[in-house]
Structure 1
């Protein structure tokens, strides 16, 4: 059974907020100078119709370096071969950890698409795990357009299902605070934890 679409009038009052500290957001980026990167029409909770009036960009962040590593480095560059993930060495050392700030606020109000809040909407975790982004993008647009108080969406990481990922809307005012390279001990610990071999 496919996920329901967000019909106007059927979901707005069911959305549950969760407050997230801006300082807790992390992203592993190939291009830290251009962060935050605002995507549209490509990824899970992007605006499905970029170019329309009221369009929005989405920046994907995570609740921890581990989630960011699983979501970006392993997912984008890893391949599982002979019992381990092989990841190019450059991907392990050339993605700095980006931290963020907002000039107008210290916390963001996100629509919670996890746990009981997700089920109360008549949805399940396919919203975070399906390879077809049509429904999740429709929900992102509907949530964005429903109320300007929503700064984004919290969802379960598909690549590390004990962690959260965040789709932050451009109107949040998110900006890069700083970027720093992972230390060699951090890289080694991440590789050990996720069964990654540098190639």
Structure 2
């Protein structure tokens, strides 16, 4: 059975909120000077109509460095070969841990698309796991348009199902606080944990 679409009037009052500390958000970026990076029309909770008059960008962040590593480095750059992942050296050595801030507030209000909150919307975790982004993008646009109070979406990481990922809307005011190069020890630990070899 396919996921339902967000028909107007069928979901707005069912969205359950969750508050997230801005200081807890992170990204692993090869281009820290360009952060936050706002995507549209490409990824899971992007605006499906980036050319529209009410278009918005989305920045993808994670709850932990492990989730960020699984979602960005392994998912985007890794190749599973002979029982392990191969990742280009540059993808490991040129990453920075980016942290964020927002002017005048320490938390963001997100639409919770996990657990019971997700089920209450009449959905299941295919919203976070499907390789077809059309439905999840439709939900992102519907949530963005439902109320200006929503700063984004919390969802289960597809690449590391016991962690959360966050799709933050551009209107949230998210901005880069600092970026620190991923340390060699951190790279080694992450590679050991996820069975990754640099190539």
Q: TM-score per shorter chain, which class?
A: over 0.9
Question: Deviations along 1:28-69, whole A, 9 cap, x unmatched?
Answer: 011110100101111100000012121110000000110000
- How far has the Cα of 1:109 moved from its partner? 0.2
- Structure 1's consecutive aligned runs of 4 or more residues displaced over 4 angstroms after TM superposition are none
Counterpart in the other structure of 2:29: 29
Separation (CA, whole Å) in 1 of partners of 2:19 and 2:44: 21
Aligned residues: 199
Counterpart in the other structure of 1:181: 181
Separation (CA, whole Å) in 2 of partners of 1:86 and 1:144: 37
- Give the 5 Å matches for 1:115-126: 115-126=115-126
The answer on whether the counterparts of 1:104 and 1:173 sit within 8 Å (CA) in structure 2 is: no
After superposition, the CA RMSD in angstroms is: 0.6
Counterpart in the other structure of 1:63: 63
Separation (CA, whole Å) in 2 of partners of 1:163 and 1:147: 26
Separation (CA, whole Å) in 1 of partners of 2:51 and 2:185: 44
Gapped regions of structure 2 (runs ≥ 5): none
The answer on whether the counterparts of 1:3 and 1:124 sit within 8 Å (CA) in structure 2 is: yes
Counterpart in the other structure of 1:96: 96
- How far has the Cα of 1:104 moved from its partner? 2.5
Separation (CA, whole Å) in 1 of partners of 2:34 and 2:185: 26
Counterpart in the other structure of 2:84: 84
Task: Please give the TM-score of this superposition, normalised by the length of structure 1.
Answer: 0.99
Question: Deviations along 1:50-99, whole A, 9 cap, x unmatched?
Answer: 12121110000000110000000000110010101011111111010000
The answer on whether the counterparts of 1:156 and 1:163 sit within 8 Å (CA) in structure 2 is: yes
Separation (CA, whole Å) in 2 of partners of 1:80 and 1:41: 27
Counterpart in the other structure of 2:160: 160
The reply to whether residue 6 of structure 1 matches residue 6 of structure 2 is yes
Question: Deviations along 1:146-197, whole A, 9 cap, x unmatched?
Answer: 0000000000000000000000000000000010011111111100110111
- How far has the Cα of 1:17 moved from its partner? 0.3
Task: Please give the TM-score of this superposition, normalised by the length of structure 2.
Answer: 0.99
